[in-house]
Amino acid sequence: MRFEEPLPLQSGAVLPAYELAYETYGTLNATRSNAVLVCHALNASHHVAGSAPDGSLGWWDNLVGPGKPLDTNRFFVIGINNPGSCFGSTGPMHANPATGRPWGADFPVVTVEDWVEAQARLLSRLGIEQLAAVIGGSLGGMQALAWALHHPQRVRHVAAIATAPNLSAQNIAFNEVARRAIVTDPDFHGGHFYSHGVVPGRGLRVARMLGHITYLSDDAMEARFGRRLQAGEAAPLAYSTREIEFAVESYLRHQGDKFSTYFDANTYLLITRALDYFDPARAHGGSLKAAFAAARGLRFLVVSFTTDWRFAPARSREIVKALVDNDIAVNYAEIAAPQGHDAFLLDDARYHAVVRAWFERIDREPQAPAGLAPAASGDDGSVATVGTDGGSSKRGAADDHSNNGDGGDGGGGGE
């Protein structure tokens, strides 16, 4: 979908005419009150569910679809590719109208809040003035939170999964190492590698390998790889510092090689920086409670996973506390799952049961007129902790179903 009206950005820059790729699933009801926005994470896209023309499944296909926890027989689901991404929406690889050449490193820095504003414009164009819910995991969860803070009258329910109210110093550090791997690649050419006919593949590979380590738990990596030798336990050691010796090395190199064939280096820089900048409490003197005061009247679901050390359960509990302190209705589920951060993309019966029950409750609610969110009832304001065990699609004008990896973020995709 093309937008001629420029998009003002948090940085003070402006994104001129741009296009957003999107897909929809299910049917919008007569009152336009059953729409659910799914926000994507770092290397995912608007292709949320079902099969793309290239045969790839949507990155959250196990959660979204007919009869699934987010049931498209009941809800009209929208996936939007964010500006700056590389899966169809306007991004660094597209032409800068001021020069006629690819934007490259000149593409303006975008933030989570900028993405939400772009999403809101597309929803308005579709005639959707209020969402039944917005849901996202990891970076997508940050976008869901931003919807509650910046457009509380346009959404009734918010689900934030495996996310945080801001990045820790350690998380920012991981992002910086990944960015340095990319910008120091000789093929980066200051971000204008398109005109040189090359890709900074080495940097992208290292960035992806680092990311995969943070998306998996120590237990998951030990169970999957341990100290297993790639050539087999009976094989002699190669005594090489450059060749693959251990199975985990082969896995990381494979993921890095694959990522470098489809993801854009400038997009990686932009999205990781958007992660760094997200911090709603900053505008309120560091008070998360004050930041979430704008979300009064909404209902929340917050989900975390016990072995997620990238966005640990303690970070989700910060969000829950800020909501409770504002007397905002919230349900909290802390799921015991061994996979680490990637658990939000994988099959887990308890996790999916929580999401299913939450959406079933939304479906049973009286439909609110557009623009008017129903007040939260008292019995929805409790905090519940669970899980303590060890359609047709429509595409925007710029839609381009590039391969978006292991089911988007799946199998080690994280943020």
Residues forming the active site = 138, 308, 341
Tell me the H-state helices in 241-302.
247-262, 265-277, 288-292
Handedness of CA 99, 102, 104, 109 (dihedral sign): positive
d(CA 224, CA 314): 26
Number of other CB atoms surrounding residue 101 within 10 Å: 12
Q: Of 55, 16, 149, 169, which Cα lies nearest the Cα of 401?
A: 55
CB 87 within 8 A of CB 45: yes
SS (H, E, C) 61-128: CCCEECCCCEECCCCEEEEECCCCCCCCCCCCCCECCCCCCECHHHCCCCCHHHHHHHHHHHHHHCCC
d(CA 290, CA 342): 30
Q: Which amino acid is at 397?
A: A
d(CA 361, CA 348): 20
d(CA 303, CA 359): 14
d(CA 147, CA 280): 11
